[in-house]
Structure 1
Amino acid sequence: MSFEDRMATVDFRVAPDAHIVVDNEVCQGCPAKQCIHACPANLFVPTSDGGILFNYEQCFECGTCYMVCNNEGAITWAYPEGGHGVVFRRG
């Protein structure tokens, strides 16, 4: 099954505020930027200044980014507000 087909089985109820916040000042000192490589939805993008841009709208809420980040305070993670977030459907 292609990535696009898998994504078609997922519904995202986007909250007005991000449930994951990335502190770019902390990320600039990170040589590995493991969140970019570990995120299964490819939502972390390196910026030209050495920071990270995170696109929370299609987040699976798996917590992988939080688990692989070695820089304390770089990622603040919480579940989205009630009624928001990822909803998996049968494909």
Structure 2
Amino acid sequence: MSTVPEITVSVDELIGANKYNVDEGGSHIGFTAEDVDALDEAEFLKLVKVCPAALYKIGPDGRKSFDYAGCLECGTCRICCEDTIVARWNNPAPMMGVQYRFG
């Protein structure tokens, strides 16, 4: 009887292999408030929990932050909070956004 070798997959390594063409002109994701700290905390916490790229963060001081530069364009934030704090989610401009290297 043969055994199957154990394979360990590192999501961080796979995400790190992607190439990102960041649109410095602005984010393709917009919120109901200009200042992310003004967004509803419970709704923002949903985004912290569901974003596979960990773009939404709450610091030790309680301040919220968001960085669209590493967005995987999966749309999870739109699905989760489109009716609450995510006011706009568009595909990035042509030639911008993520270019997947492994799938």
What's the TM-score, normalizing by structure 2? Answer: 0.70
Aligned counterpart, 1:14: 22
- Across the aligned residues of Structure 1 and Structure 2, the Cα RMSD in angstroms comes to 2.1
Identity of aligned residues (%): 27
Deviation of the 1:9 alpha carbon:
2.8
Aligned counterpart, 1:83: 95
Q: Which amino acid aligns with 1:58?
A: G
What's the TM-score, normalizing by structure 1? Answer: 0.78
Deviation of the 1:36 alpha carbon:
0.7
Name structure 1 gaps, 5 residues minimum.
none
After TM superposition, where is structure 1 displaced by more than 3 Å over at least 4 residues in a row?
none
Name structure 2 gaps, 5 residues minimum.
1-8
Q: How many residues align?
A: 86
